[in-house]
Protein backbone atom coordinates (compact mmCIF):
# COMPACT_ATOMS: atom_id res chain seq x y z
CA UNK A 1 0.00 0.00 0.00
CA UNK A 2 1.27 3.45 -0.88
CA UNK A 3 0.69 6.54 1.29
CA UNK A 4 1.46 10.23 1.12
CA UNK A 5 2.33 11.44 4.62
CA UNK A 6 1.95 15.18 5.24
CA UNK A 7 1.14 17.43 8.19
CA UNK A 8 1.17 20.95 9.61
CA UNK A 9 -0.48 22.76 6.73
CA UNK A 10 -1.44 25.66 9.04
CA UNK A 11 -3.95 26.97 6.53
CA UNK A 12 -4.60 30.64 7.16
CA UNK A 13 -1.19 31.36 8.68
CA UNK A 14 0.80 34.45 7.77
CA UNK A 15 4.56 34.98 7.70
CA UNK A 16 5.37 38.13 9.66
CA UNK A 17 1.90 39.43 8.68
CA UNK A 18 2.36 38.53 5.01
CA UNK A 19 -0.41 36.25 3.72
CA UNK A 20 0.59 32.79 2.49
CA UNK A 21 -2.71 31.60 1.04
CA UNK A 22 -1.38 31.52 -2.54
CA UNK A 23 1.63 29.43 -1.45
CA UNK A 24 -0.62 27.09 0.52
CA UNK A 25 -2.88 26.70 -2.50
CA UNK A 26 0.15 25.85 -4.64
CA UNK A 27 1.15 23.17 -2.13
CA UNK A 28 -2.30 21.58 -2.18
CA UNK A 29 -2.28 21.61 -5.99
CA UNK A 30 1.07 19.81 -5.76
CA UNK A 31 -0.27 17.31 -3.22
CA UNK A 32 -3.19 16.37 -5.45
CA UNK A 33 -0.88 16.10 -8.47
CA UNK A 34 1.53 13.79 -6.62
CA UNK A 35 -1.36 11.65 -5.33
CA UNK A 36 -2.53 11.23 -8.93
CA UNK A 37 0.89 10.68 -10.51
CA UNK A 38 2.12 8.23 -7.86
CA UNK A 39 -1.20 6.37 -7.68
CA UNK A 40 -1.27 6.56 -3.91
CA UNK A 41 -3.76 4.51 -1.95
CA UNK A 42 -4.30 7.09 0.80
CA UNK A 43 -3.21 10.51 2.04
CA UNK A 44 -2.29 10.83 5.75
CA UNK A 45 -2.55 14.29 7.32
CA UNK A 46 -1.03 14.28 10.82
CA UNK A 47 -2.65 17.37 12.32
CA UNK A 48 -2.52 21.18 12.37
CA UNK A 49 -4.65 21.44 9.27
CA UNK A 50 -5.48 25.02 10.26
CA UNK A 51 -3.36 27.58 12.06
CA UNK A 52 -5.96 28.44 14.66
CA UNK A 53 -9.14 27.09 16.15
CA UNK A 54 -11.34 29.54 14.23
CA UNK A 55 -9.70 29.74 10.78
CA UNK A 56 -10.40 32.48 8.23
CA UNK A 57 -13.04 31.70 5.63
CA UNK A 58 -10.51 31.63 2.77
CA UNK A 59 -8.58 28.86 4.57
CA UNK A 60 -11.77 26.84 5.07
CA UNK A 61 -12.59 27.13 1.37
CA UNK A 62 -9.08 25.98 0.45
CA UNK A 63 -9.39 22.97 2.75
CA UNK A 64 -12.81 22.10 1.34
CA UNK A 65 -11.52 22.27 -2.24
CA UNK A 66 -8.53 20.03 -1.44
CA UNK A 67 -10.79 17.35 0.09
CA UNK A 68 -13.13 17.46 -2.91
CA UNK A 69 -10.23 17.01 -5.31
CA UNK A 70 -8.76 14.06 -3.40
CA UNK A 71 -12.19 12.45 -3.14
CA UNK A 72 -12.59 13.00 -6.88
CA UNK A 73 -9.44 10.94 -7.45
CA UNK A 74 -10.87 8.17 -5.32
CA UNK A 75 -7.99 8.60 -2.84
CA UNK A 76 -9.01 8.12 0.81
CA UNK A 77 -7.75 10.74 3.25
CA UNK A 78 -7.12 10.03 6.93
CA UNK A 79 -6.72 13.17 9.00
CA UNK A 80 -6.29 14.04 12.68
CA UNK A 81 -6.58 17.31 14.54
CA UNK A 82 -3.44 18.97 15.91
CA UNK A 83 -2.88 21.36 18.79
CA UNK A 84 -3.68 24.36 16.54
CA UNK A 85 -6.99 22.89 15.37
CA UNK A 86 -10.35 22.92 17.06
CA UNK A 87 -11.17 19.20 17.21
CA UNK A 88 -14.90 19.96 17.40
CA UNK A 89 -14.92 22.22 14.33
CA UNK A 90 -12.60 20.04 12.26
CA UNK A 91 -14.62 16.95 13.14
CA UNK A 92 -17.99 18.34 12.06
CA UNK A 93 -19.62 16.04 9.50
CA UNK A 94 -17.05 13.31 10.05
CA UNK A 95 -19.45 10.40 9.58
CA UNK A 96 -20.82 11.87 6.37
CA UNK A 97 -17.34 12.65 5.04
CA UNK A 98 -16.27 9.06 5.71
CA UNK A 99 -18.72 7.96 3.01
CA UNK A 100 -16.65 10.01 0.56
CA UNK A 101 -13.39 8.49 1.81
CA UNK A 102 -12.39 11.34 4.17
CA UNK A 103 -11.75 9.84 7.61
CA UNK A 104 -11.47 12.44 10.38
CA UNK A 105 -10.16 11.47 13.81
CA UNK A 106 -10.51 14.35 16.25
CA UNK A 107 -11.78 12.75 19.49
CA UNK A 108 -9.78 10.61 21.94
CA UNK A 109 -12.61 8.06 21.99
CA UNK A 110 -11.88 7.33 18.31
CA UNK A 111 -8.22 6.35 18.79
CA UNK A 112 -8.96 2.63 18.48
CA UNK A 113 -11.45 3.00 15.61
CA UNK A 114 -9.32 2.65 12.48
CA UNK A 115 -10.05 3.58 8.91
CA UNK A 116 -9.90 0.19 7.22
CA UNK A 117 -8.17 0.09 3.84
CA UNK A 118 -7.32 -2.88 1.62
CA UNK A 119 -4.79 -3.71 -1.04
CA UNK A 120 -3.81 -6.89 -2.86
CA UNK A 121 -2.06 -8.18 0.30
CA UNK A 122 -4.98 -7.69 2.68
CA UNK A 123 -6.22 -5.16 5.22
CA UNK A 124 -4.44 -2.10 6.59
CA UNK A 125 -5.85 -0.51 9.76
CA UNK A 126 -5.10 3.22 9.95
CA UNK A 127 -5.49 4.61 13.49
CA UNK A 128 -5.71 8.35 14.11
CA UNK A 129 -4.47 9.74 17.44
CA UNK A 130 -5.34 13.44 17.47
CA UNK A 131 -3.46 15.87 19.67
CA UNK A 132 -4.22 14.65 23.20
CA UNK A 133 -4.10 17.44 25.79
CA UNK A 134 -3.21 15.49 28.94
CA UNK A 135 -5.47 17.18 31.47
CA UNK A 136 -8.47 16.97 29.15
CA UNK A 137 -8.02 13.38 27.92
CA UNK A 138 -6.50 11.55 30.89
CA UNK A 139 -9.85 10.38 32.28
CA UNK A 140 -11.27 9.39 28.88
CA UNK A 141 -8.22 7.26 28.08
CA UNK A 142 -7.67 5.92 31.60
CA UNK A 143 -4.10 7.24 31.67
CA UNK A 144 -2.05 6.93 34.84
CA UNK A 145 -1.03 10.60 34.95
CA UNK A 146 -1.80 13.90 33.18
CA UNK A 147 1.33 13.66 31.03
CA UNK A 148 1.78 13.48 27.26
CA UNK A 149 3.60 10.16 27.45
CA UNK A 150 0.87 8.70 29.67
CA UNK A 151 -2.10 9.67 27.49
CA UNK A 152 -0.39 8.63 24.25
CA UNK A 153 0.71 5.38 25.88
CA UNK A 154 -2.88 4.70 26.93
CA UNK A 155 -4.12 5.49 23.43
CA UNK A 156 -1.57 3.10 21.90
CA UNK A 157 -2.62 0.35 24.31
CA UNK A 158 -6.12 0.67 22.88
CA UNK A 159 -4.71 0.57 19.35
CA UNK A 160 -2.74 -2.60 20.06
CA UNK A 161 -5.76 -4.25 21.70
CA UNK A 162 -7.95 -3.48 18.68
CA UNK A 163 -5.25 -4.68 16.27
CA UNK A 164 -4.87 -7.97 18.18
CA UNK A 165 -8.55 -8.69 17.60
CA UNK A 166 -8.26 -8.24 13.83
CA UNK A 167 -7.34 -10.93 11.26
CA UNK A 168 -3.75 -12.13 11.38
CA UNK A 169 -1.52 -10.18 9.03
CA UNK A 170 -3.44 -6.89 9.36
CA UNK A 171 -0.90 -4.11 8.94
CA UNK A 172 -1.03 -1.12 11.27
CA UNK A 173 -0.48 2.56 10.47
CA UNK A 174 -0.76 5.24 13.18
CA UNK A 175 -1.12 9.00 12.83
CA UNK A 176 -0.14 11.10 15.88
CA UNK A 177 0.45 14.74 16.68
CA UNK A 178 3.09 15.02 19.39
CA UNK A 179 6.63 16.00 20.33
CA UNK A 180 8.53 12.70 20.20
CA UNK A 181 11.95 12.33 21.81
CA UNK A 182 14.71 12.81 19.26
CA UNK A 183 12.80 15.29 17.13
CA UNK A 184 14.32 18.71 16.41
CA UNK A 185 11.94 21.66 16.94
CA UNK A 186 11.94 25.08 15.25
CA UNK A 187 10.68 28.48 16.39
CA UNK A 188 7.26 28.17 14.77
CA UNK A 189 5.68 25.29 16.69
CA UNK A 190 3.35 26.24 19.51
CA UNK A 191 4.64 25.04 22.89
CA UNK A 192 2.73 22.01 24.20
CA UNK A 193 4.51 21.68 27.56
CA UNK A 194 1.41 22.97 29.35
CA UNK A 195 -0.29 19.84 30.64
CA UNK A 196 2.90 17.95 31.42
CA UNK A 197 6.35 17.19 30.05
CA UNK A 198 6.03 17.36 26.29
CA UNK A 199 8.45 14.69 25.05
CA UNK A 200 7.07 11.22 24.27
CA UNK A 201 9.41 8.20 23.87
CA UNK A 202 9.57 6.83 20.36
CA UNK A 203 8.92 3.36 21.80
CA UNK A 204 5.37 4.53 22.56
CA UNK A 205 4.52 3.61 18.97
CA UNK A 206 5.92 0.07 19.05
CA UNK A 207 3.62 -2.33 17.24
CA UNK A 208 2.77 0.03 14.39
CA UNK A 209 4.28 -0.76 11.02
CA UNK A 210 4.41 2.97 10.24
CA UNK A 211 3.79 6.05 12.41
CA UNK A 212 3.05 9.31 10.58
CA UNK A 213 3.89 12.16 12.95
CA UNK A 214 2.90 15.80 12.94
CA UNK A 215 3.78 18.85 15.09
CA UNK A 216 7.48 19.48 14.36
CA UNK A 217 8.04 21.50 11.19
CA UNK A 218 11.22 19.85 9.99
CA UNK A 219 11.08 16.59 8.00
CA UNK A 220 12.73 13.98 10.21
CA UNK A 221 13.31 10.24 10.48
CA UNK A 222 13.31 9.04 14.10
CA UNK A 223 13.33 5.37 13.08
CA UNK A 224 12.57 3.66 9.78
CA UNK A 225 8.98 3.30 10.99
CA UNK A 226 8.51 6.64 12.80
CA UNK A 227 8.79 9.88 10.83
CA UNK A 228 7.80 13.53 10.79
CA UNK A 229 6.81 14.93 7.41
CA UNK A 230 7.28 18.53 8.57
CA UNK A 231 5.33 21.54 7.36
CA UNK A 232 5.02 22.11 3.60
CA UNK A 233 6.10 25.76 3.96
CA UNK A 234 8.53 27.53 6.31
CA UNK A 235 6.69 29.45 9.02
CA UNK A 236 9.69 31.02 10.79
CA UNK A 237 13.21 32.07 9.89
CA UNK A 238 14.51 29.15 11.95
CA UNK A 239 13.29 26.98 9.04
CA UNK A 240 15.47 28.77 6.49
CA UNK A 241 17.61 25.66 5.99
CA UNK A 242 14.73 23.18 5.82
CA UNK A 243 14.01 21.11 2.75
CA UNK A 244 10.21 21.05 2.64
CA UNK A 245 8.71 17.77 1.47
CA UNK A 246 6.16 15.02 2.03
CA UNK A 247 6.86 11.33 2.52
CA UNK A 248 5.87 8.81 -0.14
CA UNK A 249 5.63 5.57 1.86
CA UNK A 250 5.29 2.03 0.53
CA UNK A 251 4.13 -0.68 2.94
CA UNK A 252 4.70 -4.19 1.61
CA UNK A 253 2.81 -7.40 2.39
CA UNK A 254 4.95 -8.11 5.47
CA UNK A 255 4.72 -4.54 6.76
CA UNK A 256 8.22 -3.48 5.71
CA UNK A 257 8.58 0.23 4.96
CA UNK A 258 10.20 2.06 2.08
CA UNK A 259 9.97 5.86 2.23
CA UNK A 260 10.98 8.54 -0.26
CA UNK A 261 10.88 12.32 0.12
CA UNK A 262 8.96 14.31 -2.47
CA UNK A 263 9.84 18.01 -2.50
CA UNK A 264 7.15 20.66 -2.07
CA UNK A 265 6.93 23.87 -4.16
CA UNK A 266 9.62 26.17 -2.85
CA UNK A 267 7.66 29.41 -2.46
CA UNK A 268 9.52 32.59 -1.59
CA UNK A 269 12.97 31.77 -0.13
CA UNK A 270 14.15 32.92 3.30
CA UNK A 271 17.38 34.82 3.98
CA UNK A 272 18.97 35.70 7.31
CA UNK A 273 21.41 38.59 6.79
CA UNK A 274 23.79 40.14 9.30
CA UNK A 275 26.03 43.19 9.20
CA UNK A 276 26.08 46.98 9.19
CA UNK A 277 23.22 48.56 7.28
CA UNK A 278 25.44 50.18 4.63
CA UNK A 279 27.13 46.84 3.99
CA UNK A 280 23.79 45.10 3.50
CA UNK A 281 22.67 47.83 1.11
CA UNK A 282 25.84 47.82 -0.99
CA UNK A 283 27.22 44.26 -0.98
CA UNK A 284 26.75 42.84 -4.52
CA UNK A 285 27.01 39.31 -3.12
CA UNK A 286 23.58 39.75 -1.51
CA UNK A 287 21.81 40.24 -4.85
CA UNK A 288 20.37 36.67 -4.85
CA UNK A 289 18.40 37.55 -1.70
CA UNK A 290 16.64 40.59 -3.10
CA UNK A 291 13.44 38.61 -3.77
CA UNK A 292 13.55 36.65 -0.50
CA UNK A 293 11.82 37.16 2.82
CA UNK A 294 14.63 38.82 4.76
CA UNK A 295 15.49 38.87 8.44
CA UNK A 296 18.27 41.42 8.94
CA UNK A 297 20.40 41.68 12.08
CA UNK A 298 22.09 45.08 12.12
CA UNK A 299 25.44 45.36 13.90
CA UNK A 300 25.88 49.16 13.59
CA UNK A 301 27.23 50.60 16.89
CA UNK A 302 24.58 53.35 16.64
CA UNK A 303 21.10 52.53 15.40
CA UNK A 304 20.74 53.99 11.88
CA UNK A 305 17.87 56.30 10.98
CA UNK A 306 14.86 54.63 9.31
CA UNK A 307 16.65 51.28 8.95
CA UNK A 308 13.63 49.27 7.80
CA UNK A 309 12.63 51.72 5.09
CA UNK A 310 16.19 51.85 3.77
CA UNK A 311 16.53 48.08 3.90
CA UNK A 312 13.23 47.61 2.04
CA UNK A 313 14.49 49.78 -0.81
CA UNK A 314 16.83 46.92 -1.75
CA UNK A 315 15.00 43.99 -0.14
CA UNK A 316 11.28 44.70 -0.68
CA UNK A 317 10.29 41.57 1.25
CA UNK A 318 12.28 42.42 4.39
CA UNK A 319 9.95 41.52 7.26
CA UNK A 320 12.12 41.29 10.38
CA UNK A 321 14.76 43.63 11.81
CA UNK A 322 17.01 42.84 14.78
CA UNK A 323 19.78 44.87 16.42
CA UNK A 324 23.01 43.50 17.89
CA UNK A 325 25.45 46.44 18.03
CA UNK A 326 29.13 45.73 17.66
CA UNK A 327 31.18 46.56 20.76
CA UNK A 328 34.37 48.55 20.26
CA UNK A 329 37.59 46.80 21.36
CA UNK A 330 37.93 46.85 25.15
CA UNK A 331 34.30 47.84 25.76
CA UNK A 332 32.83 46.41 28.93
CA UNK A 333 30.62 43.40 28.43
CA UNK A 334 29.16 43.55 31.95
CA UNK A 335 25.45 44.11 32.44
CA UNK A 336 23.90 47.55 32.83
CA UNK A 337 22.72 46.89 36.40
CA UNK A 338 26.26 46.16 37.54
CA UNK A 339 27.42 49.64 36.50
CA UNK A 340 24.90 51.73 38.50
CA UNK A 341 26.54 51.92 41.94
CA UNK A 342 28.02 55.33 42.78
CA UNK A 343 26.76 57.03 39.61
CA UNK A 344 24.99 60.35 39.32
CA UNK A 345 21.70 60.58 37.41
CA UNK A 346 23.57 62.09 34.45
CA UNK A 347 26.15 59.30 34.47
CA UNK A 348 23.46 56.63 34.71
CA UNK A 349 21.60 58.13 31.73
CA UNK A 350 24.83 58.35 29.72
CA UNK A 351 25.72 54.79 30.75
CA UNK A 352 22.33 53.61 29.51
CA UNK A 353 22.89 55.19 26.10
CA UNK A 354 26.32 53.54 25.89
CA UNK A 355 24.86 50.20 27.00
CA UNK A 356 22.18 50.05 24.31
CA UNK A 357 24.65 51.27 21.66
CA UNK A 358 27.19 48.58 22.35
CA UNK A 359 29.60 50.89 24.18
CA UNK A 360 29.26 54.18 22.30
CA UNK A 361 28.16 56.99 24.63
CA UNK A 362 26.18 60.15 23.79
CA UNK A 363 27.72 63.06 21.88
CA UNK A 364 27.67 66.65 23.13
CA UNK A 365 24.19 67.51 21.89
CA UNK A 366 22.78 64.31 23.35
CA UNK A 367 24.41 65.01 26.73
CA UNK A 368 22.85 68.46 26.79
CA UNK A 369 19.42 66.98 25.99
CA UNK A 370 19.81 64.41 28.79
CA UNK A 371 20.82 67.10 31.31
CA UNK A 372 17.86 69.27 30.30
CA UNK A 373 15.41 66.36 30.68
CA UNK A 374 16.82 65.40 34.10
CA UNK A 375 16.66 69.01 35.32
CA UNK A 376 13.03 69.29 34.22
CA UNK A 377 12.21 66.03 36.01
CA UNK A 378 13.82 67.27 39.24
CA UNK A 379 11.88 70.54 39.07
CA UNK A 380 8.60 68.69 38.62
CA UNK A 381 9.47 66.41 41.53
CA UNK A 382 10.26 69.45 43.72
CA UNK A 383 6.95 71.08 42.81
CA UNK A 384 5.15 67.89 43.86
Domain ranges of the chain: 2-263, 269-326, 334-384
Is residue 319 pLDDT above 60, yes or no? yes
Q: pLDDT digits over 147-188, tens only?
A: 999 999 999 999 999 999 999 999 999 999 999 999 988 888
Q: Nearest-CA neighbor of 276 among 323, 333, 312, 332? A: 323
What backbone torsions phi and psi does residue 234 show, to the nearest 5 degrees? -75, 135
Angle between helices 148-164 and 134-141 (to 10 degrees): 30
- Contact predicate 4/246, CB 8 Å: yes
Q: How far is CA 1 from CA 120, 166, 233, 262, 326, in A?
A: 8, 18, 27, 17, 57
Give the list of residues 6+ apart from residue 275 with CB closer than 8 angstroms, or none: 283, 297, 298, 299
Q: Which CATH architecture has domain 2-263?
A: 4-Layer Sandwich (3.60)
Mean of pLDDT over the chain? 92
Is residue 224 pLDDT above 80, yes or no? yes
- Mean pLDDT throughout 2-24? 97
Amino acid sequence: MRFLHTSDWHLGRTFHRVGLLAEQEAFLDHLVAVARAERVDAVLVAGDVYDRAVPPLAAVRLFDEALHRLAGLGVPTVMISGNHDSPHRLGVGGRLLARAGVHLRTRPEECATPALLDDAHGPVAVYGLPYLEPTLTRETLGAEAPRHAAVLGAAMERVRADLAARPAGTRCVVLAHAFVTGGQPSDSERDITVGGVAAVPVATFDGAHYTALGHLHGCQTLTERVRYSGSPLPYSFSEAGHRKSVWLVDLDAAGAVRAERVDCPAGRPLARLRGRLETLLEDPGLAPHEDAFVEATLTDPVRPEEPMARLAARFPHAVSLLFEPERPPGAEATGYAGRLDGRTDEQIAEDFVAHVRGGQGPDGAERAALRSALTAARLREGEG
